[in-house]
A and B are shown apart, each in its own frame.
Chain A
Amino acid sequence: MTEFAYLIPLLQLLSFVMIIFFLRWKEKVSSGLAVTMSVAAWVMSVWVLIETICKYIGAHGAHVEPFEITYYLTVFPKINLEIGILVDALTAMMLLVVSTIGACVQIYSLGYMRGDKYFSRFFAYLSLFLFSMFGLVLANNFFMIFIFWELVGLTSYLLIGFYFEKKSASDAGKKAFITNRIGDLGFIIGLLLIGTYAGTFNYREVFDAVSGGVFPPEVLVVAAIGLFCGAIGKSAQFPLHVWLPDAMEGPTPVSALIHAATMVVAGVYLVARGMDIFVGSADAAFVVAAIGLITSFMAATIALTQNDIKRVLAYSTVSQLGYMIMALGLYGYDTANGIHSPGYYAGTFHLMTHAFFKGLLFLAAGSVIHAVHTNDIREMGGLLKKMPKTGWTFLVASASISGVPLTAGFFSKDEIVAAAAHHPVFYFFTLLIAFMTAFYMWRLCFMTFFGKPRDAEKFDHAHESPATMTGPLVFLGVLAVIGGWVGIPGMTGFSEFVFHGEPYHTHVDWVNILIASSVGLGGIYLAWLMYLKKAISADKIAQTFRPLYLMSLNKWWFDELYDIVFIRPILTLGRFLWTFDARVIDGLVNGVAWFTLFWAEMKQLFDTYVIDGAVNGSGWLVSNLGQALRYLQTGRVQFYTLFIVLMIIVLATFRMLPTGTWLLWTLTFLCAALLLGLIGRRTVTNTAHTESEKQA
């Protein structure tokens, strides 16, 4: 199956093309096609994963050549561009993640989007997104990943702004697109540096060049940070994180698919994929780790106070992405300094488990919103009784993200904590973030599903969602628990499969496990005290730490800051230029009014006779040349043979006669032929001898 892995994206493209061009009008057929294709992709991804696992396990730790197919695009032979696929453990794992969430979301959307005006188009976009995402994951070179990177950005823009009649939705789409462009600028710089120095974009050749010392150290740092800029944009890291919460304007399945589980982890994937480059430059790796930590901490503090269910999840996503980035950065930094670190394995493992539980959280949140028609958790409460399946799966996912023992999140978060253990600052903040994560997630759970309903009317109308929506929830709920069991410490599992350099052999570290899980449980306990038992008043804490509370509630004032620092100055500059135009330029214009008038007069004449004449003349010439040549097309076969003879004489005498004579000769012939044609035409109109004469 691995040989046919390229079919996984192509099936999605087929689905997109079929729906957009042919099936748009038939909702059932188009959604059915999209779902079938994504399920087929899931089956194929599982197959690829199993084959890859067999290959790696069969090697018993020896080096395994990844599967690679590549085609050189020979249209521009000087530039070494290629298209191809590369399947190794990381790719196989990503394929599984993308296809699982993709299939779940498409099935879920059958119920969620029912009755939408653009139902078919939604599925077409989802298919296009999956095509781009699979392509991004399967690419075997930086050039190709960049193309799919941009395609993913485009579909994200289309889907955020799916309800484009709503101004906030279309604004959010634009914000996401523009913010991502800023990151991509860095990405392009990194790409160009890589292409210039390595002479190729192929991953493995580039990495060989890096380890072969082809890059000067300072170039490598810039290239690495450039690549990371792309990741900052796509994975919503500080300082470009502002687009992700706004992206929640899109339909909820989109939030689950793109803005929680798949597209936003593309940045993490890029860092993991290009790990050799970061290992080669410890400074860049440290920047990665620091940015990851800052993002993670900042987003966690913001999530504490938000009241929009999707926004809490959005900030949680940003925070968790920061976690993964930090783990990868720490791995690069430690490896560059000769320390064997679990960071790489921890980051990629958390990527997988996070996809399962965060995808589930978003889908369940969508189910809740579907039922109560509001995003505000202050209007919810007690919903567990009304919608048990949604509620219980949501609770399972929350337990998982909080690191409750034996859930998926427990195992992966443990490893991240272990990766940070050597660095006191990182260690402290990692634990703090874990605590806050547990707290805000359970705050969400308690306010939504427990206690008394705060809005009786909305509560009465609430109902469990249809099976197409709850089915994927249950499926993901199971994965959110058992998905982490592949990484139980001390056993052969994930860490021997996805690794960089040497496989990391995990061992059971009871102290670490105890600290990490007690921090998570502590967060849950505090949330329980505050929001269910009401032993501690949340309002009172908000009053006591008012500045901090406001800072969190207003998202650290990032939007305002960007407004003041970037948007306003640019608008002001624009306005200044306009004023400058109005005052100074106009003054000048008035000063030379008579000249302008005179000039305009002249120009008018010039335009009328010369420019317009030339433009109209060339148009007239082209079409009337055609008209004139048509007169030669008399439709009479006698004329045709005569014309051939004339032309042979013209051609044969080309070199024999002096040029002047020849030209005269040729022109005479042509005029005679035209005349003949015209005369023939005149007579033909009276007596149309042949059918094609009428046509001519």
Chain B
Amino acid sequence: MEFQLPEYSLRMMLPEIVLFLAALVVITFDVVTKRKSGTAVGYLAMGGLVLTAIVMATTGYGRGFGNMFIVNPLALFFKVIFIGAAFMAIGSSFGITQKKIVNHRGEFFGLIMFSTLGMMFLASSRELVSLYIGLELTTIPLFVLAGFFKDDKRSVEAGIKYLIVGAFSSALLLYGISFLYGLTGTTDLFQMQVGLATKQIATQGNMGAIMVVAIVTIVAGLGFKLALPPFHQWAPDVYEGAPTPVTAFLSVGSKAAGLVAFVKVVVIGLYSFYEPLMKPNDWGIMVGVLAAVATILGNTVAIRQTNIKRMLAYSSIAHVGYMMIGLLAMNELGLSSVAFYMFAYLFTNMGAFAIVTLVEERTGSCDISDYNGLARSAPFVSLSLAIFLLSLTGVPPLAGFVGKFYIFAAALKQAGSQAGQDWLYWLVGVGILTTVFALYYYANVIKMMYFGKREDPPKITLNPPAVAVVVIGLVGVILFGLYPAPIIEFASNIPLSYGFIVP
């Protein structure tokens, strides 16, 4: 382990430090102004995130604290997504916090920022302990946030459920990690990768049940964060009960954090246990089956939902399935296409939830029937939601299409170039088929808005930060749909930064 000067190490961590201080300032500001800060505290929080982003842009790549903290394209790309998700979640929550939270707005925004801080540490971690701590720091504020509306039974219930399932899954993950440590004697991901591969060869691929248990518990623990079936059951309940901006943050920020952890532990750490190399301790086919289940389950159950937040919860389960397909391709294109997919998902889903929040503020519920005839009374809101839903379906020329296109292309490329990976064809087939199911329930909402014949559809009052969030989402969805080249180009650095080689 090489030694580096602490100043240098601290400099690498500067964005995190700035964000931490900003979160403290936000909470303190609300208290100092005797809870009368109004919208100022929200703008302050957004400003803090912007400042963090600026500092991050000037920091550059490097390592700190031995090998525990690393800033590379993977970390940077996902940190942008985390900060974007937090920024848009806070922006869309102005109206609803004004209405429902009387005294604790500072804490609400501050907790979102603390959770973002955890995600950023997670993205920069290079070994299992700091990764686990980052994951916990991400999740614990979210438990509180999910139950933030104390007077709302459903919100409290969501918080408790999320806490219990989360704690359980976290224990499972820790259990799996302890096995890995026991097998290799290190927590460093790269040393672990090498150590496991050596052991695998030494035992001639016969590492026994320990490895299987380790893989399964780790996949289960991270599957909880990702809402990957069959570890998804908390998601619809929590998504529905939590305050809508928190749901949005859960579905994008928390999911992206889970994805980073999955990439680090499973794709990189357990690299040698991917199917074509080693049997029987593989995770390739297993995750493949889970991905297929995710797309089928997410897209079919979503059809029957009457609550738009539950519908989007199931849709997000399906989207995890698509992301897994990209990861399973295990080539450079796969990893970068998943990163792009997540980036597109940030704009699309945050935008969609911002609109759900706006409608909820007016009608007080999240029923899909609220959207009946909305196009007449709220043309901007309806058009934007329609664009977001079409992007979620994957209709060109929107960003969602480009993401899906690259993911399927990566999987097909791998299936064609590697012997013994025919199952990827099946996976892509299932993915494309379920995309068609998806069109059904997304288009249903659009049909409702544009062809619904309600007498007096509600007028939606817009507030500036929420409109800004929607516009950012629209610009992202359309711009990166038409011109994805710069993002794709940046994302293609991610696999290279890990010395990721096509097997």
Residues of A bordering B, CB below 8 Å: 21-22, 71-75, 622-623, 625-627, 629-630, 632-633, 635, 637, 639-641, 643-644, 647-648, 651-652, 654-656, 690-692, 695
Closest CB-CB distance, B340 to chain A, in whole Å? 11
Chain A contact residues: over half helix, strand or loop, or mixed?
A: helix
> A627 to chain B: which residues have CB within 8 Å?
304
Closest 8 CB pairs of A and B: A626-B300, A647-B230, A655-B280, A692-B237, A691-B154, A640-B233, A652-B216, A626-B301
> A637 to chain B: which residues have CB within 8 Å?
160-161, 164-165, 234
Closest CB-CB distance, B454 to chain A, in whole Å? 18
| B483 in the interface (beta carbon within 8 A) | yes
Q: Are B220 and A644 in contact (CB under 8 A)?
A: yes
Q: Are A654 and B301 in contact (CB under 8 A)?
A: no
* Cα(A655)–Cα(B282), bound, Å: 9
Beta-carbon contacts under 8 Å, B188-215 to A? 209, 212-213
> B241 to chain A: which residues have CB within 8 Å?
691-692
Q: Are A21 and B303 in contact (CB under 8 A)?
A: no
State which of B161, B280, B488 has its C-beta within 8 Å of the C-beta of A74: B488
Q: Are A71 and B237 in contact (CB under 8 A)?
A: no
| B380 in the interface (beta carbon within 8 A) | yes
> A622 to chain B: which residues have CB within 8 Å?
300, 303, 437
- A74-B485, A623-B304 provided; 11 other pairs, C-beta below 8 A? A73-B485, A623-B300, A629-B301, A637-B165, A644-B165, A644-B172, A647-B220, A651-B216, A651-B220, A655-B281, A692-B158
> B405 to chain A: which residues have CB within 8 Å?
75
> B153 to chain A: which residues have CB within 8 Å?
691
Closest CB-CB distance, B406 to chain A, in whole Å? 9
* Listed A/B pairs (15) with beta-carbon separation below 8 Å: A625-B300, A626-B300, A630-B301, A644-B165, A644-B168, A644-B230, A651-B216, A651-B219, A652-B209, A652-B212, A656-B212, A690-B157, A692-B158, A692-B237, A692-B241
* Cα(A391)–Cα(B164), bound, Å: 86
Contact pattern, B 476-491, Cβ under 8 Å of A = 1, otherwise 0: 0000000111001000
Q: Are A643 and B488 in contact (CB under 8 A)?
A: no
Question: Would A74 and B484 be within 8 Å (CB), given that A637-B161, A651-B286, A691-B153 are in contact?
Answer: yes
Closest CB-CB distance, A692 to chain B, in whole Å? 4
* Cα(A75)–Cα(B282), bound, Å: 33
Question: Would A629 and B300 be within 8 Å (CB), given that A647-B220, A692-B240, A695-B307 are in contact?
Answer: yes
Q: Are B240 and A648 in contact (CB under 8 A)?
A: no
Question: Would A72 and B303 be within 8 Å (CB), given that A633-B233, A637-B165, A644-B230 are in contact?
Answer: no
Which B-chain residue is minimally distant from A23 (CB atoms)? B379
* Cα(A656)–Cα(B220), bound, Å: 18
Count B interface residues, CB 8 Å: 51
Q: Are B303 and A626 in contact (CB under 8 A)?
A: yes
Closest CB-CB distance, A282 to chain B, in whole Å? 41
Q: Are B168 and A72 in contact (CB under 8 A)?
A: no
* Cα(A695)–Cα(B306), bound, Å: 9
Q: Are B303 and A75 in contact (CB under 8 A)?
A: no
* Cα(A637)–Cα(B301), bound, Å: 19
Closest CB-CB distance, B101 to chain A, in whole Å? 20
* Cα(A65)–Cα(B303), bound, Å: 57
Q: Are A632 and B233 in contact (CB under 8 A)?
A: yes
> A72 to chain B: which residues have CB within 8 Å?
485
> A656 to chain B: which residues have CB within 8 Å?
209, 212
Closest CB-CB distance, A508 to chain B, in whole Å? 52
Contact pattern, B 138-156, Cβ under 8 Å of A = 1, otherwise 0: 0000000000000001100
Q: Are A695 and B240 in contact (CB under 8 A)?
A: yes
| B297 in the interface (beta carbon within 8 A) | yes
Chain B contact residues: over half helix, strand or loop, or mixed?
A: helix
Beta-carbon contacts under 8 Å, B170-200 to A? 172
> A633 to chain B: which residues have CB within 8 Å?
233, 236-237, 301
* Cα(A643)–Cα(B220), bound, Å: 11
> B264 to chain A: which residues have CB within 8 Å?
none
* Cα(A626)–Cα(B383), bound, Å: 29
Which B-chain residue is minimally distant from A76 (CB atoms)? B405
* Cα(A644)–Cα(B221), bound, Å: 10
> A623 to chain B: which residues have CB within 8 Å?
300, 303-304
State which of A75, A630, A643, A648 has its C-beta within 8 Å of the C-beta of B484: A75
Q: Are A692 and B154 in contact (CB under 8 A)?
A: yes
> B281 to chain A: which residues have CB within 8 Å?
655
> B237 to chain A: which residues have CB within 8 Å?
633, 635, 692, 695
Q: Are A22 and B380 in contact (CB under 8 A)?
A: yes
> A644 to chain B: which residues have CB within 8 Å?
165, 168-169, 172, 220, 224, 230-231, 233
Question: Would A652 and B213 be within 8 Å (CB), given that A72-B485, A625-B300, A692-B241 are in contact?
Answer: yes
* Cα(A627)–Cα(B359), bound, Å: 27
> A75 to chain B: which residues have CB within 8 Å?
402, 405, 484
Q: Are B379 and A22 in contact (CB under 8 A)?
A: yes
| B217 in the interface (beta carbon within 8 A) | yes
Closest CB-CB distance, B57 to chain A, in whole Å? 23
| B105 in the interface (beta carbon within 8 A) | no
Beta-carbon contacts under 8 Å, B215-254 to A? 216-217, 219-220, 224, 230-231, 233-234, 236-237, 240-241
| B310 in the interface (beta carbon within 8 A) | yes
> B301 to chain A: which residues have CB within 8 Å?
626, 629-630, 633
Which A-chain residue is minimally distant from B230 (CB atoms)? A647
Which B-chain residue is minimally distant from A625 (CB atoms)? B300
* Cα(A505)–Cα(B279), bound, Å: 81
* Cα(A637)–Cα(B163), bound, Å: 10
Beta-carbon contacts under 8 Å, B297-317 to A? 297, 300-304, 307, 310
Closest CB-CB distance, B93 to chain A, in whole Å? 22
Q: Are B165 and A640 in contact (CB under 8 A)?
A: yes
Q: Are A641 and B168 in contact (CB under 8 A)?
A: yes
Pick from A71, A637, A641 the residue with the most CB of B within 10 Å. Answer: A637
> A632 to chain B: which residues have CB within 8 Å?
233
* Cα(A72)–Cα(B282), bound, Å: 40
Q: Are B483 and A71 in contact (CB under 8 A)?
A: yes
* Cα(A72)–Cα(B489), bound, Å: 12
* Cα(A654)–Cα(B217), bound, Å: 14
* Cα(A695)–Cα(B304), bound, Å: 12
Q: Are A641 and B164 in contact (CB under 8 A)?
A: yes
Q: Are B297 and A629 in contact (CB under 8 A)?
A: yes
* Cα(A644)–Cα(B485), bound, Å: 41
State which of B157, B230, B379 has its C-beta within 8 Å of the C-beta of A691: B157
Closest CB-CB distance, A9 to chain B, in whole Å? 14
Closest CB-CB distance, A125 to chain B, in whole Å? 19
State which of B154, B217, B282 has its C-beta within 8 Å of the C-beta of A648: B217
> A629 to chain B: which residues have CB within 8 Å?
297, 300-301
Closest CB-CB distance, B298 to chain A, in whole Å? 10
* Cα(A632)–Cα(B302), bound, Å: 14
> A652 to chain B: which residues have CB within 8 Å?
209, 212-213, 216
Which A-chain residue is minimally distant from B169 (CB atoms)? A644
> B296 to chain A: which residues have CB within 8 Å?
625
> A626 to chain B: which residues have CB within 8 Å?
300-304
Beta-carbon contacts under 8 Å, B371-406 to A? 379-380, 383, 402, 405
* Cα(A656)–Cα(B206), bound, Å: 12
> A21 to chain B: which residues have CB within 8 Å?
379-380, 383
Which A-chain residue is minimally distant from B168 (CB atoms)? A641
> B231 to chain A: which residues have CB within 8 Å?
644, 647
> B216 to chain A: which residues have CB within 8 Å?
648, 651-652
Closest CB-CB distance, B164 to chain A, in whole Å? 5
Q: Are A630 and B304 in contact (CB under 8 A)?
A: yes
Which A-chain residue is minimally distant from B437 (CB atoms)? A622
Closest CB-CB distance, A636 to chain B, in whole Å? 9
* Cα(A459)–Cα(B160), bound, Å: 85
* Cα(A309)–Cα(B244), bound, Å: 64
* Cα(A399)–Cα(B180), bound, Å: 92
Closest CB-CB distance, A302 to chain B, in whole Å? 45
Closest CB-CB distance, A138 to chain B, in whole Å? 17
* Cα(A49)–Cα(B108), bound, Å: 55
Closest CB-CB distance, A365 to chain B, in whole Å? 38
Closest CB-CB distance, A6 to chain B, in whole Å? 12
